């Protein structure tokens, strides 16, 4: 018997890295999983890799019409939603003098606007006692040179968790922020390649002596998704190997 048998879960940005592993773990635990991504081919590949009854939906979370289509599909196929993981987001290495209006709009569009309206549009489907997991980052706690836009968006995400936890408490909907540190994902690989010889900006290894694995973040998301955390809301769950000690 799986920990999420009979539950319906949505993972945005579920085609690679942490999002894909969350979707995979939820499906393995018995959930009906929906995942989203911007590229049709990536969505199809993710669904094929997970198998089962997983449903892939194409759309950019910063496009409100695309979000409407996502939730219409979930409503028609499942009727309700028990677990929402707002994971979709992006970030690039850009020093302050090089930040453009276009980059500002795209980063805040996916990481803040997209997250806000993902949660808002999910509310009519969310069951009382549902779990909302907002994927933030330790960058929103510590800041990172050249990643100020990304770090600022993740700091906003952490505050949304606190504010919405209080706002949605009457429905017993739990809202928690998940804050990964350095994790072996395609996103980290792209950043490392972008840095080249300057990869030291990523910092030294944390006290545990290694970067994290996406499956470890997925395990934490499962913890937040289950009734085991029925008394946990408005919290920051940090998984960084001790980097923020």
* Range 188-191, long-range pairs (CB < 8 A, 24+ positions): 191/93
Half-sphere exposure (Cβ direction) of 118: Cα atoms closer than 13 Å: 30
Q: How many helices (H) and strands (E) does the chain have?
A: 9, 9
For residue 53, give both structure tokens.
């009854």
Q: Which active-site residues does the annotation give?
A: 150
The single residue listed with the structure tokens 């006290």 is 207
Q: In whole angstroms, what is the distance from residue 209 CA to residue 170 CA?
A: 42
Angstrom distance (rounded) from CA 31 to CA 12: 15
The CA–CA distances, whole Å, from 28 to 33, 82, 165, 222 equal 10, 16, 28, 11
């Amino acid at each position: 018997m799986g920990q999420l048998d009979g539950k319906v879960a949505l993972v945005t940005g579920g085609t690679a890295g942490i999002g894909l592993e969350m979707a995979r773990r939820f499906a393995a635990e018995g959930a009906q999983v929906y995942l989203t991504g911007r590229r049709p081919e990536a969505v199809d590949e993710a669904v094929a890799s997970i198998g089962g009854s997983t449903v892939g939906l194409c759309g950019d979370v910063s496009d409100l019409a695309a979000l409407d289509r996502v939730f219409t599909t979930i409503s028609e196929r499942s009727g309700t939603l028990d677990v929402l993981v707002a994971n979709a987001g992006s970030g690039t290495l850009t020093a302050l003098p090089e930040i453009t209006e276009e980059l500002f709009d795209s980063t805040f569009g996916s990481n803040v606007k997209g997250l806000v309206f993902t949660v808002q549009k999910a509310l009519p489907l969310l069951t009382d006692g549902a779990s909302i997991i907002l994927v933030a980052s330790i960058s929103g706690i510590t800041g990172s040179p050249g990643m100020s836009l990304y770090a600022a968006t993740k700091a906003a995400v952490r505050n949304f968790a606190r504010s919405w936890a209080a706002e949605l408490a009457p429905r017993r909907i739990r809202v928690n922020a998940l804050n990964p540190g350095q994790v072996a994902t395609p996103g980290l690989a792209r950043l490392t390649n972008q840095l080249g010889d300057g990869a030291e900006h990523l910092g030294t290894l944390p006290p545990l002596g290694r970067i994290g694995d996406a499956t470890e973040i997925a395990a934490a998301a499962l913890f937040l998704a289950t009734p085991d955390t029925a008394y946990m809301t408005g919290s920051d769950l940090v998984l960084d190997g001790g980097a923020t000690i």
